[in-house]
Chain A
Amino acid sequence: MKTIFAKTSGLTERPFHYCPGCTHGIIHRLIGELLEEMNLIEKAIGVAPVGCAGFCENYFSCDMIGAAHGRAVAVATGAKRARPDRFVFTYQGDGDGASIGLAETVSAAARGEKISSIFVNNAIYGMTGGQMAPTSLVGQRTSTSPYGRDAVTMGFPLDLPKILTQVEGAVYVASVSVESPQAIKEAKKALRKAFQIQLDGLGYSFVSILSTCPTNWGVDPVEALDWLTTKMKPHFALGELKTPALEGGSNP
């Protein structure tokens, strides 16, 4: 019998704990597949965040380190500098990377740390039950913005990948999403490029992935994909925002 599909060896046998309709699972699979395809499982050290993905060390087949909230990039820096021969990545949510860990993210990018960060933006704090995130949209209702995010008192969503394009040491910055098969293919392409850039020793690579949270958005999984497409995507810069100059890329 011919095998036409098998689960990637980049993921363990542990079932995901994620909610129905949450796209963390898709993103995990893409990373697992790339770890396998790029022959990185035995070479990789992943850094898990605090947040919904805080248990992801159980899912990836490689060695993993659990970091404090917001400190994944600093932990990854410490690990990579200690073992420059290893492939080191962080998997972080929007709170981890763009709020409490913003200084770590931007500083690691400025140093051009040879690590790869996967930044999953679902515009809300999922783990703690649906509070406002640094990326929550203006007007978005969350449990700590019950009347909707008011720009005057709560400010505006932060577009982290856009900021990072201005940082010299960040050599690859992409912003992708996973609401459709086509988008998922594009996301995997961006992740592959980010990983390759680390392997080539070019500098910091960063992939932001717009993701869903039907549970805390208060919608069903299909509506969540629609919300991501119609509400989130217009608010965030998308595409390959910065690619290495030697590849003939642009720096908008």
Chain B
Amino acid sequence: MTSGITKYLFAGFGGQGVLFIGKVMAQAAMLAKRQVTWIPAYGPEMRGGTANCSVIISNKRIGSPTVGKPDIALVMNEASYQKFIASVVPGGTLYVNSSIVPDLQGRDDIKIVRVPVNDIAHEIGEAKVANIVMLGVIQALTPTLEDEILIKALVELAGKKPELADLNSRAFKAGIEYAQKHF
């Protein structure tokens, strides 16, 4: 997070919406007139059931668009935890979906934030929005952009489905509230 550049990695099973929250982040960064890149893992990695994308948000022109060492990483499943925990930059933050990722060996030089986002999503009434809940948690603890910009991006990406925009906004706020209460 030095010199106005933040590197994100979002990883999980296909279907957990990790590419989507990367897109929300990228869309919001664009709306905030920041420089941004979004790269998905593609090809055989996708077939294996895990998906991930990386996002860079910067105040100045982005050179390398690849993210080898994320400042902020999110792992929605155990396989992603194993694969990516070592890559987080020292001093960075790893967000873990504790609903399904057991308490595994961690690292002392990074912050590990465990949130049962599946359970929180379940309480909201829609299991699919666990990813958006986590986005809210990330926003509460390690914000790069304004809350309003992220909500605007969520609404824009919901397209012509106001009920989806509403659901996503609720999930996002639930994530923020959870983080404020527990961390």
Are A and B close enough to touch in the complex, i.e. CB under 8 Å?
Answer: no
| Residues in chain A within 8 A of chain B (CB atoms) | none
What is B's interface to A at a CB cutoff of 8 Å? none
